[in-house]
Amino acid sequence: MAETLEQAQRVGYTCLRALLRFAFMVANNLVAIPSYVLYLIVLQPLRILDSKSFWYIEGVLFKWLLAMVASWGWWAGYTVVEWGDDVKAVSEDEAMVLVNHQATGDVCTLMMCLQDKGTVVRQMMWLMDHIFKYTNFGIVSLIHGDFFIRQGRAHRDQQLVLLKDHLEKYYRSRNRKWIVLFPEGGFLRKRRETSQAFAKKNNLPFLKHVTLPRLGATQVILKTLVAPQENGTPSGGDAVRKESKSKGLQWVIDTTIAYPKAEPIDIQTWILGYRQPTVTHVHYRIFPVKDVPAEPEALTNWLYQRFIEKEDLLTHFYETGAFPPPQGQTKATSREMTLSNLWLVAIQSFAFLSGGMWYCLFQYLYHCLF
């Protein structure tokens, strides 16, 4: 009887905590996102006079918004341990980040673990499914210049043309550095069976923990953003090349996310926090873009090889609880990614103070006008 009562109390506490966290998240969104939009509306004259400064300020606000999302998981005990190459070393260079995709929590994990990577978060561009355009964060991503891609064979060719146009128009003009994409084109649980059938038909490796990636978006990004001297193609068009002194895309960062027991965190868990504290493991491997082939067939093989390596990494992780050591080394080293609670509280406070300021301003204007 005592044990049953204790379990009921534990469930009740979990539900109450989840309800309070959800209420905080709603309040956070109601003040932070409108404040972001209103600040940028007010700053439109600066966009005309000094576009670089405008996008710098927008990037700072964007990073703070992502930090707020990261804080929901951080305060629930969802932390990150990083493995492999140190990506801070290339944080000021242009890079394409290739990530395996298991659940909606993958994006939240990236929002968290990239917070301490210098200017990366405020200068990054995301490629995401078009459905995210209709979420609460959609307006932020639209303003920031992220690209929403529509999945499906019927839309594929048109979407790749739109992606190329989008990169040429926004990537360098807004001083973007990193571009993040999920080449599998969907969640593991939804694409695994189809991918395995395709692999069997084409005599490709049988993969359980990842799916075979799609080439389209990766190829467009490389063709559009890699500097001419590296692959012989224009870097975003003549106009963009003249206005930018960019060296072009220099690195490909192969990023592998692993969850304990292969149980990914979804966005609902991230918000409500009903799952026990969990350590997500993120492995990085950096490739110079000059080593990435440009020809479609060779690029396809190269990209497949990256995901075959991801399969091996994840298999080792699920069997041992750790990623394998780099080639030629006997031991893998990891580093715990940390966030400052004081900094997170300061950002959240700024959001709520901004919300209060805008509310008072609109109240004042209303009374003046009416």
115 — pLDDT class (breaks 50, 70, 90):
very high
Single-letter residue type at 232 = G
pLDDT at 2: 58
Instruction: For residues 187-191, give the mean pLDDT.
Output: 91
Instruction: For residues 90-100, give the mean pLDDT.
Output: 95
Beta bridge partners of 280: 80
Which two structure tokens, joined as six digits, stand for 197?
């059938």
pLDDT at 308: 96
The C-alpha atoms of residue 106 and residue 116 are separated, in whole angstroms, by 17
Instruction: For residues 118-145, give the mean pLDDT.
Output: 90
pLDDT at 4: 78
The C-alpha atoms of residue 339 and residue 115 are separated, in whole angstroms, by 8
Task: Write the DSSP assignment of 267-306 as a string of letters.
Answer: HHHHHH--SPPEEEEEEEEEEEGGGS--SHHHHHHHHHHH
* Beta strand extents in the chain (DSSP E only): 78-84, 94-99, 124-129, 147-149, 178-181, 249-258, 278-288, 334-337
Pairing of strands 334-337, 178-181: unpaired
Cα diameter, the chain: 76
Determine the straight-line distance between the first and last CA of the chain, rounded to whole angstroms: 64
Instruction: For residues 143-160, give the mean pLDDT.
Output: 86
* Beta strand extents in 160-299 (DSSP E only): 178-181, 249-258, 278-288
pLDDT at 240: 39
Pairing of strands 94-99, 178-181: parallel
Residue 351: name the closest of 72, 106, 76 by CA: 72
pLDDT at 3: 65
pLDDT value at 92 more than 70: yes
Quick one: how far is CA 215 from the chain centroid?
19
Q: 11 vs 76, which has greater pLDDT?
A: 76
State the SS3 of 36-59: HHHHHHHCHHHHHHCHHHHHHHHH
pLDDT at 229: 52
140 — pLDDT class (breaks 50, 70, 90):
very high
pLDDT value at 181 more than 60: yes
pLDDT value at 202 more than 50: yes
Instruction: For residues 223-249, give the mean pLDDT.
Output: 59
Q: Where are the domains of the chain?
A: 1-227+247-369
Instruction: For residues 181-208, give the mean pLDDT.
Output: 92
Residue with tokens 């805008």: 358
Beta bridge partners of 84: 284
Mean pLDDT of the chain: 90
What is the per-residue pLDDT across 240-250, written as a single tens digit (0 to 9) for each? 344 445 689 99
Is the CB of residue 87 less than 8 Å from the CB of residue 253? Answer: yes
Counting residues of the chain whose pLDDT is more than 90, the rounded percentage is 77
pLDDT at 245: 56
What is the per-residue pLDDT across 312-345, written as a single tens digit (0 to 9) for each? 999 999 999 999 998 878 788 899 999 999 999 9
Counting residues of the chain whose pLDDT is more than 70, the rounded percentage is 94
R_g of the chain computed on alpha carbons: 22
pLDDT value at 236 more than 80: no
pLDDT value at 265 more than 90: yes
The answer to which of 30-34, 121-125, 131-135, 218-222 has the lowest mean pLDDT is 131-135
pLDDT value at 131 more than 70: yes
Instruction: For residues 97-106, give the mean pLDDT.
Output: 95
* Percentage helix, strand, coil for the chain under 3-state DSSP, each rounded to 5: 60, 15, 30
Is the CB of residue 62 less than 8 Å from the CB of residue 122? Answer: yes
The C-alpha atoms of residue 143 and residue 331 are separated, in whole angstroms, by 44
Instruction: For residues 24-33, give the mean pLDDT.
Output: 95
pLDDT value at 264 more than 80: yes
